[in-house]
Amino acid sequence: MNKLNLSSEKIDRCRSLANTIAEDVQSFINKHSTVTVERTVLRLLGVDGVDEFGVPMPNKIVDDIVKNGDITLGSARYMAAALKNSSSGMEDFLTAYSANGFSICDYPLTTKAEVEPILKPYYEKHLDRIRANKKRREDYLQIYPRTKTDLYVIVATGNIDEDVIQAVAAAKAGADIIAVIRSTGQSLLDFVPYGKTTEGFGGTFATQENFRIMRNALDKVSEEEQRYIKLVNYASGLCMPEIACMGALERLDVLLNDSMYGIIFRDINMQRTFIDQYFSRLINAYSGIIINTGEDNYLTTSDAVTEAHTVLASQFINEAFAKKAHLGEELMGLGHAFEINPDIENGFLFELAQAQMAREIFPNAPLKYMPPTKHINGNIFRAYQQNTMFNMVTTMTDQTIHLLGMMTEAIHTPFISDRFLAIKNAKMIQKSMKDLGAEIEFKDGGIIKNRAEQVLDEALDLLYKINSDGLFASLEKGVFADTKRPIDGGKGLNGVFKKSDEYINIVSEKMEEFFNEN
């Protein structure tokens, strides 16, 4: 599939530069941890629930260590000490800790060598559960036929029970992937809400119980429809690794997972979120969850013609970060979008060039292709036309994860009927244009080839510049999406700390061992 005849030498150079850029950030990541990482370690040891005031137990314990102990040693050190000295299991300890008001730092610390044998029964239980979930997903995908392009729709009622009704309706209409949109602002919460929720704003709170409820509903409809319906949620934000953990425990299939999205569009501190991203992606790799990256969002704040190369450059960088977290290509849902103003002459050809270029450069990645949104307005007929053109490019270039555009995008959250029409539109294009892409060759010196070569050249130039400046400095300069973010600004910086020489993250170590052995 090399219709564009792009320079393999330039592509290899882009990958080499992206790897160097990611290596520089990874060296920082390796020396640091965050309060979110430490809360995630506790969750993977079995810490769950809330205290009498509704504070999640992982937050309560980590806040206790920050105040009364030495968080640079890691939460695992303190949990091992508590379990060793309290003569009780995890559940009994949490009950007593929640009720009696003592500090987890009251116990004599264990040595670093003692941590693993004490915590082994706890981390093994949860890692076994994650591997069992991965196996169950693989079994479903063996039983039920896979589609080349998965149709992806969202539900966003704020009430998980209503979400289930809408998700089941969408699946029965032909959707392959259901994304449950999070409540507005959840990415900025430095805790994960607990339990079932029925009152969200613009979406439904991401909680482990809500994940379980939707997963059970989609398993049931999968068996009825004889198609495995994938479940998506959002792990970007201040609780990225915690949500990845919950997704792994409840068998989600796809997670939006991209630090640069959080930095640029949610003003989350870049130091905090790159550290969190690494651990979250390690969990996703271990559990077989596909990540989705957020490059498509760049084109909502910058021009899709002049800034297309920033999407490609970011895709290369995200690929490099993903590899460092052991994610295989089959789990890298790199993002891009159909966002060129439809009034631009030959804009459709530019869109086709961009999509074909992404498909050829990342041939094994389950690319996430976003519909037109920026230039959608209240004219639903024009919106339907734009979405049809988007569906054509998707089919012609074999995109993998196809987010459906809604004709009422600019008016309201889609009704069930809007989703039905979007699914029927996409399915008609998939069928009527099924092999069109295989029939087409692009003219040497033509608009499509020239456009793809131009974007690749500009991406290479940008990667040279980012490599020279460093990614942190480049983000400060606003290299992506015309948005500048300071390295010491944004939300969550106070949750970052440098690891002690005696630091231990037993869960991360065991996952790394797994990948090194396999």
Of 112, 230, 323, 368, the active-site residue reads: 368
H helices of 44-111, in order, are: 57-68, 75-86, 90-100
At 140, list the tokens.
């479903």
**12 labelled catalytic:** no
The set of residues, in sequence order, having a beta carbon less than 8 Å from that of 192 and lying 6+ positions away, is 56, 206, 207, 208, 239, 242, 243, 246
- Identify the burial level of 91 via C-beta atoms within 10 angstroms of its C-beta, where 0-12 means exposed, 13-18 middle and 19 or more buried: exposed
Q: Which helix (H) or strand (E) holds 335?
A: strand 335-337
d(CA 119, CA 66): 21
- Whether 261 is catalytic is yes
Q: What are phi and psi of 195, to 5 degrees?
A: 85, -175
Task: Give CA–CA dist 86/108, Å, rounded.
Answer: 11
The residue type at 185: G
- Output the six-digit token pair for 191: 């805790």
Q: Which of 261, 278, 369, 503 is catalytic?
A: 261
d(CA 258, CA 273): 9
Buried b / exposed e along 345-368 (16+ C-beta atoms within 10 A): eebbbbbbbbbbbbbbbbeebbbb
Catalytic annotation on 286? no
**Residue 332: beta bridge partners?**
291
Q: What are the angstrom distances between the C-alpha of 122 and each of 51, 209, 346, 483?
A: 21, 20, 58, 43
**Which contacts qualify for 461-466: CB closer than 8 Å, 24 or more apart?**
461/309, 462/309, 462/310, 462/313, 463/14, 463/17, 463/18, 463/21, 463/313, 463/316, 463/317, 464/17, 466/17, 466/21, 466/313, 466/317
Which residue is it, tokens 């450059």? Answer: 313
Catalytic residue among 296, 418, 449, 503: 296
Q: What's the token pair of residue 41?
A: 């370690």
Q: Which residues contact 482 (CB under 8 A, 6 or more apart)?
A: 301, 302, 307
How far is residue 51 from each of residues 98, 100, 107, 270, 441, measured CA to CA in Å?
A: 6, 11, 20, 31, 63
Strands 368-370 and 335-337: parallel
Catalytic residues: 261, 296, 368
